[in-house]
Chains A and B, each alone.
Chain A
Amino acid sequence: MPNPEQTVVFRRAVVALNGGSSDARIVRLAAGVARQWKAELVAVHVVEIDWTQPLDADIAGRSEDVQRVLDLAEETAEDCQYKIEPVLLQARDVGAALVDEATEQRADMLILGLPYRKRFGGDFAIGSTIPYVLKNAPCAVWVVREPIPEESA
């Protein structure tokens, strides 16, 4: 049994996915840690719906690309011999939806990825979701920053 003082501990974690390159990394990381504590993992992907459309418009359900985000997460978790429960949401604001979902799921950890964007010379654009989650999440938040590619470092 690992020492709880030295490792990240959670019983139920929400893993926020954005369909980017960091998704597989955070799922693998979450699965690796969750295995030690037999914790439950919930993969959440939020599709932002602008105000021109109704919130329950048939958008995410019809999109292969959106479905694939969660399918890939499930597959990555299976490769790590772990189970992840996928949840697909439509919301006006991604950060608020993640916080509310984590609250409803009674998660004690919310894991997010911070991808490295290569455009415009390479950057970590923290955006508005991470600050919102850091400020409002009722549970611990773990932001996993992607490593800077060697050629950019």
Chain B
Amino acid sequence: MIGGRRPLKGRKLADRRVRIERPHAAYFRWSGPGQLTAKESASRPTTPLGRLWARVKAAVIGRPLASEDEIGERLSKKKALAIFSSDAISSSAYATEEILRVLILGGAAALVLGLQVSIAIAVLLIAVAISYRQVCLAYPTGGGSYSVSKRNFGRGASLVAASALLIDYVMTVAVSTSSAVEQITSAVPALIDERVLIGVAAIALITIGNLRGIREAGNIFAVPTYLFLGSALLMIGIGVYRIVILGEHGAYDPNQLIRQTGETAEGVGLLLLVRAFAAGAVALTGTEAIATGVPAFKPPEARNAATTLAIMAALLGTLFIGITFVAVNFGITHLELPEQQTVISQVARRTYGDGTIPFFLFQSFTAVLLFLAANTSFNAFPRLLAILAKDGFMPRQFALRGDRLAFSYGIIVLATVAAGLVILFRGETHLLIPLYAVGVFIDFTISQAGMIRHWLRERTPGWRRRLTINTFGCVLTAIVAVVVTTAKAPQSLLVLLLIPCLVGLMRFIHRQYDAQAEELRVRDDTVIAGPHREQRVVVPINGINRAVVQALNFARTVSGDVRAVFVTDDEAEGEELRARWERQFPGLPLVIVESPYRAVVSPVVAYLDVLDQAWPPDKEAPITIVVLPEYVARHWWDRVLYNQTARRMKAALVGREHTVIADVPYRRSH
């Protein structure tokens, strides 16, 4: 019997068999020649504290998923529409109001131009959507504008696009959360003092939802998006029916007003129109998110992303024009007094009826959707960071997927920065708005310009038509970028200041990674020879005990040049140790360092310096291995009692040239 394997009896004497242990099977699986794949059990924490943390994490964000489950985490078009479009679709809730707020400055008659302005914005939306559809198909690895500009303009422009987008994603979370909280505090004024807390709690909830993985986030967040979509389309349908078929109009009809007063809409200045156009163009924010997250889609990723983008643009355009049409024809504009009423709430009141259940349901769907607008950023921001990290422009951790295959670091950074902004600006939307939607138009412009270059280079069939669309879109988005930045100045200039700062940071990170890679680079045409440098071992000891004996035994297996160092401020103690040492470790050098100033760590470091200086200058410096005996505490709470000097020693030696630190732990056998 070998290895304790007891033969099992068979039906006949010769039919014995032996069961073979498979110790690897609990943790690994052989997946190919010389290739092991770790099972979930191999990734489980081994310490009680680690296990507790893993249980808490599993309860909050779910059990870890294997990388091979990534394909199952991909989004269907239906879920992706909810995940990536909540930002764009939610903007239909306020974009009409933004236009009417500007137009009212030109008099009531100017409101009639709201529909024309919204149609013009819808045309811009079509141009931008077509452009990003092309981006999805031409750059299926994701990254959106960053990838387009990297390919067509190089590093500088791509980093500007990425920075502008990153800033805008953070602002989207802060603004949409604050704005949704405002909806709640408008309904329940008693909560007004808790708005920061509510905002931060909402961000925390969305963060947890996203840390649970993109598919689960889709399950959580899809329902409110579709409820809003359904009820908003129904509202528009009822409104259009009443206006077109029943011939209803508002308390004042802008067209009638023009006829009665002789006031003309043409009197509205071009500048006002441009400002109204720029104000309404916030509806376009979030259009780029799908192009950034193409790899999140189920295969065929690019085709599905492009289709989803087209559906999103069609829905957004319909909602936006529909709401504006109903609002203009019912003569609705925002009201501040007697109580603040948004345009969309008035449209809902008019179509569903004041105080009816459908009205309240629609209002609550709108509030929830405004919260969820932040969710788009939670999907796009971490993906963009991951792409930047892969390219070496952001710390590599951002490219790592968490337990649930989400880019956890990016999600946490976004949540932290956005929550910080909500706290800093006390959850007041109007303080955050000037910083919002500035970056995204810079990004649109760079992306469209990139696509112009793309078509000029590729000249694939139909390139002239596409080139025209992108040129048209590029000019319009550039105008909007300038107008939005000017209209929101001076606060918007902060974004313009932040973009170069972020670009500088990313370039700095890239330089650091490049320098490190160059430093660590090994030529692939050389054969690596065995070690040729001499090694010596220094073992700092605190006396003679089992831990020290074990460390010395290990040291003697590493090198023939071993010496123990004992630091003491007591001469008698030193002499006593030496006597015992010579008896118990004959032939093994012991250096006793007397330390009248009672320091322990510094004299050892100084001794190592002396050893280095004593080394012949014509010989290559040896590797000094400092072997530290350590006693392993049995409980987490008694760790503080042991190894404090060893810890300080390690801290003092980390990074020291030609020095390796080796811990030799001594564990009690029972």
**A58-B2, A136-B11 as given contacts; A64 in contact with B17, CB under 8 Å:** no
What are 26 A-B pairs at a CB distance below 8 A? A46-B17, A56-B5, A57-B2, A58-B3, A60-B20, A61-B21, A64-B30, A64-B33, A64-B34, A67-B22, A67-B24, A74-B29, A87-B19, A88-B22, A89-B18, A90-B18, A92-B16, A93-B14, A93-B15, A96-B12, A96-B15, A97-B10, A97-B17, A100-B10, A100-B17, A104-B8
> Of residues 120 to 179 in B, which have CB atoms within 8 Å of A's CB atoms?
none
Total cross-chain contacts (CB, 8 A): 83
What are the interface flags for A93-112 relative to B under an 8 Å C-beta threshold, 1 for contact and 0 otherwise?
10011011101100000000
Query: Would you call A4 an interface residue if the criterion is a C-beta within 8 Å of the partner chain's C-beta atoms?
Result: no
Are B15 and A92 neighbours in the complex by a CB distance under 8 Å? yes
Q: Which residue on A lies nearest to B7, using beta carbons? A: A55
Query: Would you call A118 an interface residue if the criterion is a C-beta within 8 Å of the partner chain's C-beta atoms?
Result: no
A26 to B22, CA, bound (A): 22
Query: Would you call A71 an interface residue if the criterion is a C-beta within 8 Å of the partner chain's C-beta atoms?
Result: yes
* From B12, B14, B16, B18, residue with most partner A Cβ within 10 Å: B18
A91 to B15, CA, bound (A): 7
Q: Which residue on A lies nearest to B33, using beta carbons? A: A64
Query: Would you call A54 an interface residue if the criterion is a C-beta within 8 Å of the partner chain's C-beta atoms?
Result: yes
Q: Which residue of A55, A64, A88, A103 contacts B16 across the interface (Cβ within 8 Å)?
A: A55
Query: Would you call B529 an interface residue if the criterion is a C-beta within 8 Å of the partner chain's C-beta atoms?
Result: no
Are A86 and B7 neighbours in the complex by a CB distance under 8 Å? no
Query: Residues of B at under 8 Å CB distance from A?
Result: 1-3, 5, 7-12, 14-22, 24-25, 29-31, 33-34
Q: Which residue of B11, B21, B24, B29 contacts A100 across the interface (Cβ within 8 Å)?
A: B11
Q: Which residue of B1, B10, B33 contacts A96 across the interface (Cβ within 8 Å)?
A: B10
> Of residues 41 to 82 in A, which have CB atoms within 8 Å of B's CB atoms?
46-47, 54-58, 60-61, 64, 67-68, 70-71, 74-75
A149 to B1, CA, bound (A): 45
A70 to B26, CA, bound (A): 13
**A64-B30, A71-B30, A100-B8 as given contacts; A56 in contact with B15, CB under 8 Å:** no
A21 to B230, CA, bound (A): 53
Are B22 and A70 neighbours in the complex by a CB distance under 8 Å? yes
Q: Which residues of A contact B15 (CB under 8 A)?
A: 91-93, 96-97, 100
Are A61 and B30 neighbours in the complex by a CB distance under 8 Å? no
* From A58, A71, A86, A92, residue with most partner B Cβ within 10 Å: A71
A11 to B33, CA, bound (A): 35
Are B16 and A61 neighbours in the complex by a CB distance under 8 Å? no
A74 to B22, CA, bound (A): 13
A35 to B22, CA, bound (A): 26
Are A68 and B30 neighbours in the complex by a CB distance under 8 Å? yes
Are A70 and B1 neighbours in the complex by a CB distance under 8 Å? no
Q: Which residues of A contact B18 (CB under 8 A)?
A: 55-56, 89-91
Q: Which residues of B contact A89 (CB under 8 A)?
A: 17-20
What are the interface flags for A9-50 relative to B under an 8 Å C-beta threshold, 1 for contact and 0 otherwise?
000000000000000000000000000000000000011000
A74 to B16, CA, bound (A): 26
Q: Which residues of B contact A75 (CB under 8 A)?
A: 29, 31
A97 to B3, CA, bound (A): 20
Q: Which residue on A lies nearest to B2, using beta carbons? A: A56
Q: Which residues of A contact B12 (CB under 8 A)?
A: 96
Q: Which residue on B lies nearest to A104, using beta carbons? A: B8
A46 to B19, CA, bound (A): 9
A54 to B7, CA, bound (A): 11
Q: Which residues of B contact A103 (CB under 8 A)?
A: 11
**A88-B20, A96-B12 as given contacts; A56 in contact with B7, CB under 8 Å:** yes
How close is A129's CB to chain B, nearest CB, in angstroms? 13
Q: Which residue of A54, A61, A74, A92 contacts B20 across the interface (Cβ within 8 Å)?
A: A61
* From B7, B20, B29, residue with most partner A Cβ within 10 Å: B20
A58 to B5, CA, bound (A): 10
Q: Which residues of A contact B10 (CB under 8 A)?
A: 91, 96-97, 100
How close is B252's CB to chain A, nearest CB, in angstroms? 65
Give the top 9 A-B pairs by smallest Cβ distance, nearest first. Answer: A91-B17, A96-B15, A56-B5, A68-B30, A71-B29, A88-B20, A100-B10, A97-B17, A90-B18
How close is A98's CB to chain B, nearest CB, in angstroms? 9
A71 to B8, CA, bound (A): 23
* From A58, A60, A75, A91, residue with most partner B Cβ within 10 Å: A91
A71 to B36, CA, bound (A): 10
A47 to B19, CA, bound (A): 10
A60 to B29, CA, bound (A): 15
How close is A73's CB to chain B, nearest CB, in angstroms? 10
Q: Which residues of B contact A99 (CB under 8 A)?
A: 11
Are B22 and A56 neighbours in the complex by a CB distance under 8 Å? no
How close is B298's CB to chain A, nearest CB, in angstroms? 19
Are A88 and B24 neighbours in the complex by a CB distance under 8 Å? no
How close is A132's CB to chain B, nearest CB, in angstroms? 10
A37 to B34, CA, bound (A): 37
Q: Which residues of A contact B3 (CB under 8 A)?
A: 56, 58, 61
Q: Which residue on A lies nearest to B35, using beta carbons? A: A64
Q: Which residue of B1, B16, B17, B22 contacts A86 across the interface (Cβ within 8 Å)?
A: B22
How close is B318's CB to chain A, nearest CB, in angstroms? 42
How close is A114's CB to chain B, nearest CB, in angstroms? 22
Are A70 and B2 neighbours in the complex by a CB distance under 8 Å? no
Q: Which residue of B7, B17, B20, B31 contacts A101 across the interface (Cβ within 8 Å)?
A: B17
